[in-house]
C-alpha cells in the first residue's frame, strides 16, 4: 500500500541526499548505479524545497503534430492521472530529446494537474510560465525553459519512461529536490523514512559533532577525534543495518 500522507510529509522534511543515505542502507540494488538520475537536472523552484509523490508517467513528442489527431487523448490521460492514489509527481519523457521544441508544462497544465493531486513534475524536456507554475504550487525539475508549447499533447501514459538517464515505472515513490531525484521500489518504501532518520542522526552524533568540536585541538588531535567518530559512525550503522556506512 502507498505510504500515508503524514509519512509523505515527513519524507518531505528532508533533502534528497539525506533520503539517499537511508535508501543506501535498505536497498538490495547498487547504490552507485540505481534509483537516481544519471544526468543533470535543473530545479526551477528550489525555494519550494523537496517534493515527494508517486510517479504518474507520460510520453510527449512536441515536434510531431500528428499526435493531435488522436481522439480523446487529453480526456483519457486526465482520467488516468485522476485515478491514481496519493500525492503524485508527473514524470515526462520527451521524445524530441536532445532537442527542445516545445513544453508540455505551463500555467494552465500546472493548475490542472495540481487540481488532480499532482505536486510537481520531472521532465527531460522544458517548462515555460515558470513564475505562474510556481504560483500554482507546482514544482518542476526540467532540462531548460522554452517559449512555446508546439504540438504538446499526451502520446502515451501509464508506461515505463526514461528521464535524465533513469527508467521510472508508474507508481514508484519519488523524492526530488535541487540535487536531483531518487525513485525507489515498493519493497523499499516502508523502511525508507526510518533508515533516513537513523543515518542523519548517526552523522550528527558522531562525525559532524566531532568535526564541530575541534577548537583548541592540535591537528593530530583533531584527526584522531574525527577518525574515532568515523569508527563510531560505522559501528552504529553495522549494528542497525549490518553494513558499513559512508564514513
Instruction: Decide if 197 is inside a domain.
Output: no
Q: Please name every residue paired with 139 in a beta bridge, in sequence order, or none if there are none.
A: 120
Domain that holds residue 93: 5-189
Instruction: Decide if 20 is inside a domain.
Output: yes
Q: Report whether 182 contacts 176 (CB < 8 A).
A: yes
Cell of 105: 508544462
If asked whether residues 56 and 134 sit together in one domain, one would say yes
Last residue of a domain, one of 147, 162, 189: 189
Instruction: Decide if 108 is inside a domain.
Output: yes
If asked whether residues 210 and 185 sit together in one domain, one would say no
If asked whether residues 170 and 236 sit together in one domain, one would say no
Q: Number of helices and strands (H, E) in the chain? A: 8, 12
Helix residue spans in the chain (DSSP H) = 5-12, 16-26, 73-83, 107-115, 130-135, 186-205, 207-211, 219-241
In the predicted structure, residue 2 carries a pLDDT above the cut 80: no
If asked whether residues 135 and 213 sit together in one domain, one would say no
If asked whether residues 218 and 109 sit together in one domain, one would say no
Higher pLDDT: 243 or 107? It is: 107
φ, ψ for residue 68, nearest 5 deg: -70, -15
Instruction: Decide if 80 is inside a domain.
Output: yes
pLDDT at 206: 97
Buried-exposed string 203-242: b where 16+ CB fall within 10 A, e elsewhere: beebbeebeeeeeeeeeeebeebbeebbebbbebbeeebe
Using CA atoms, how far apart are residues 29 and 7, in angstroms rounded to an integer? 23
Determine which helix (DSSP H) or strand (DSSP E) holds 141, and give its type and residue range. strand 139-142
If asked whether residues 33 and 81 sit together in one domain, one would say yes
Instruction: Decide if 201 is inside a domain.
Output: no
> pLDDT band at 31, cuts 50/70/90?
very high
| pLDDT, tens digit (0-9, with 9 covering 90-100), for 228-240 | 999 999 999 999 9
Instruction: Decide if 199 is inside a domain.
Output: no
| pLDDT, tens digit (0-9, with 9 covering 90-100), for 69-96 | 999 999 999 999 999 998 999 999 999 9
Instruction: Decide if 211 is inside a domain.
Output: yes
> pLDDT band at 105, cuts 50/70/90?
very high
Instruction: Decide if 247 is inside a domain.
Output: no
If asked whether residues 161 and 233 sit together in one domain, one would say no
If asked whether residues 148 and 61 sit together in one domain, one would say yes
Total length of the chain = 247
> pLDDT band at 32, cuts 50/70/90?
very high
CATH of the domain at 29: 3.50.30.40
> pLDDT band at 1, cuts 50/70/90?
low
State the CB neighbour count (10 A cutoff) for residue 162.
13
pLDDT at 246: 84
pLDDT at 130: 98
If asked whether residues 147 and 212 sit together in one domain, one would say no
**What's the number of domains the chain is made of?**
2
If asked whether residues 237 and 170 sit together in one domain, one would say no
Amino acid at each position: 500500500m502507498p505510504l500515508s500522507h503524514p509519512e509523505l510529509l515527513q519524507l518531505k522534511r528532508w533533502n534528497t541526499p539525506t533520503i539517499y543515505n537511508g535508501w543506501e542502507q535498505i536497498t538490495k540494488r547498487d547504490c552507485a548505479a540505481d534509483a537516481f538520475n544519471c544526468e543533470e537536472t535543473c530545479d526551477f523552484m528550489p525555494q519550494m524545497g523537496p517534493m515527494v509523490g508517486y510517479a504518474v508517467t507520460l510520453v510527449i513528442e512536441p515536434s510531431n503534430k500528428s499526435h493531435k489527431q488522436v481522439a480523446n487523448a487529453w480526456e483519457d490521460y486526465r482520467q488516468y492521472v485522476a485515478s491514481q492514489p496519493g500525492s503524485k509527481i508527473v514524470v515526462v519523457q520527451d521524445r524530441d530529446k536532445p532537442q527542445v521544441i516545445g513544453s508540455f508544462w505551463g500555467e494552465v497544465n500546472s493548475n490542472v494537474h495540481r487540481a488532480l493531486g499532482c505536486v510537481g513534475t520531472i521532465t527531460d524536456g522544458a517548462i515555460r510560465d515558470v513564475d505562474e507554475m510556481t504560483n500554482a504550487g507546482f514544482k518542476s525539475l526540467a532540462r531548460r525553459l522554452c517559449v512555446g508549447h508546439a504540438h504538446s499533447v499526451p502520446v502515451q501514459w501509464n508506461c515505463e519512461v526514461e528521464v535524465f538517464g533513469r527508467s521510472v515505472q508508474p507508481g514508484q515513490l519519488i523524492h526530488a529536490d535541487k540535487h536531483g531525484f531518487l525513485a525507489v521500489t515498493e519493497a523499499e518504501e516502508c523502511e525508507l523514512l526510518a533508515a533516513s532518520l537513523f543515518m542523519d542522526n548517526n552523522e550528527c552524533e558522531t562525525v559532524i559533532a566531532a568535526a564541530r568540536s575541534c577548537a583548541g585541538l592540535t591537528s593530530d588531535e583533531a584527526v584522531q577525534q574525527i577518525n574515532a567518530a568515523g569508527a563510531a559512525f560505522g559501528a552504529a550503522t553495522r549494528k542497525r543495518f549490518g553494513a558499513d556506512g559512508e564514513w
